Structure 1
Amino acid sequence: MSGESDLIKLYSNRILALAADIPRQDRLEAPDATVKRRAPLCGSTVTVDVKVEDGKIADYGQEVRACALGQAAASIVGGAIIGCTRDEVHAARDALKAMLKEDGPTPPAPFDGLEVLRPAQEYKNRHASILLSLDAAAEAMDSLRQSDCA
């Protein structure tokens, strides 16, 4: 397959549709935690706000300044993260990382929609951008655990 064909496959209609319709793009007014992450290679950034009740994400807001792949990942995360615990966020992040780097299994539900990003495995320079939302959400949940709020 030529490089151009590979890129066409990578930027599928589904990925572009997800990137165009990112849920929860409003920042929270009084979050329990806020984390901003940046992918150094491409400069993509994601800022997430979380509100946690009873150890589960009760509200989530995000500001996404990323490539289409990072936007697609943020779209899936934003649509799936409400009600998740710290452990579920970590499991999703770890599974996404393994899927991209080691051809591991698809992240567990409710994050199984991240399967659409499997074609990005070959593009290591895109991995950090794809992982931004879950990395930031995991870090936010960790910061709350350290302060005994989550």
Structure 2
Amino acid sequence: MSEALYTRDILRLAVSIPHQSRLDKADGTAEARSRTCGSRVTADIKLSDDRSISELGIEVNACALGQASAAIMATEAIGKSEEEIAKTRQQLADFLRGVEHSPGEWMNMNHLVAAKEHVGRHAAILLPYDAILAAFEAAAKKDEAA
């Protein structure tokens, strides 16, 4: 028998997403949507001189798993570079596909383990990372245009 999908920890995370507000004058802004479930995450980032995230604003419209994943990402994102976010997203995606044994090293990632069996939820779980990475890309394009 599989583990319960919507555990108390997942639900606790889902209602405790930090940085839930849009940023004025963000360096990069992006929206990511899941065609599978309709979830949506909008991310605004401000970058420090070393190109790591100094401020984050997110808006999340997703299932409890997507919200929990957004809470994990938002808790850890400040101070992280694009490469660090991309590496974490890849490890999580590889875990969900069965390639990795761990969902990642960030605090609370272990709460996503039960979602591995629910392929239809994978897109929502990865969505916050996709939005942040797209915001980094938008910031780079903004820099090139300046």
Q: With structure 2 as the length reference, what TM-score do the two structures score?
A: 0.90
- Deviation at 1:9? 1.0
The one-letter code of the counterpart of 2:84 is E
What does 1:1-150 align with in structure 2 at a 5 Å threshold?
1=1, 6=2, 9-54=4-49, 55-104=51-100, 105-108=102-105, 111-148=106-143
Distance 1:90 1:139 in 2: 10
Distance 1:106 1:130 in 2: 11
Cα distance between partner residues in 2 of 1:107 and 1:77? 11
Counterpart AA for 2:66: G
Supply the AA of the counterpart residue of 1:32: D
Cα distance, 1:148 vs structure 2: 4.4
Contact 1:66/1:129, CA 8 A, preserved across alignment: yes
The answer to whether the 8 A contact 2:73-2:128 is kept is: yes
Displacement after TM superposition at 1:87 (Å): 0.6
5+ long unaligned stretches in structure 2? none
Deviation at 1:116? 1.1
> What SS does structure 1 have at the residue aligned with 2:79?
coil
Change (3 A) 1:123 1:17: same
Q: Residue 106 of structure 1 aligns to a residue in which SS?
A: coil
After superposition, the C-alpha distances for 1:80-119 in whole angstroms (9 at most, x for unaligned) are: 10000111011011111011112513323xx342221011
Number of positions where the alignment pairs a residue of Structure 1 with one of Structure 2: 142
Gaps of 5+ in 1: none
Q: Secondary structure at the match of 2:20?
A: coil
Query: Which secondary structure state, in structure 2, belongs to the residue aligned with residue 9 of structure 1?
Result: coil
Structure-2 separation of matches of 1:53 and 1:139: 17
The CA RMSD over aligned residues, in Å, is 1.6
Could you list the structure 1 runs, at least 4 aligned residues long, displaced by more than 6 angstroms after superposition.
none
Question: Which whole-Å CA distance do the structure 2 matches of 1:82 and 1:44 have between them?
Answer: 23
